[in-house]
Amino acid sequence: MGFCGWSARRRRPAGGEPESAAVPGAAADLDLLFTQVRQLRELAGDPEQAGDADRVYGFSIRWGAFLHGRLPRLVRYDRRGALGPAERDRFADLCAELRDVAPLAERLGLAVPRPDGERRR
């Protein structure tokens, strides 16, 4: 009996054919980033919350961690063509959302999302 790596075993559904190349954890990363975008919209849309420096600071920590950790990971996998079709579509939607909320992030003094993978100075 030969050795079969974890990823090869994991990609084989009951029928035995490998699934499309999908990155483990990409769906969870996308879910988390979409949640952060929604929370940014809520924060920016409520003047009382947006004026609360502690609330904005707390959010900025999570926002920055996701933008500088999970987003570059997804950008890298997208450029390599490693995302599955559904993940590619969701990633494209996420990039559009991030471009849309960039002015909100800037207004609150948060890191500005760069879905193209470039860092803003």
Residue among 115, 71, 46, 101 nearest 55 (CA)? 46
* Model confidence, pTM: 0.76
Give CA–CA dist 29/91, Å, rounded: 10
The predicted structure's pLDDT at residue 113 = 85
pLDDT mean by block of 10 residues, the chain; 121 residues = 37 41 87 96 94 94 93 94 95 95 95 67 37
HEC profile for 73-98? Answer: HHHHHHHHCCCCHHHHHHHHHHHHHH
- DSSP letters, 61-75, are HHHHHIIIIIHHHHH
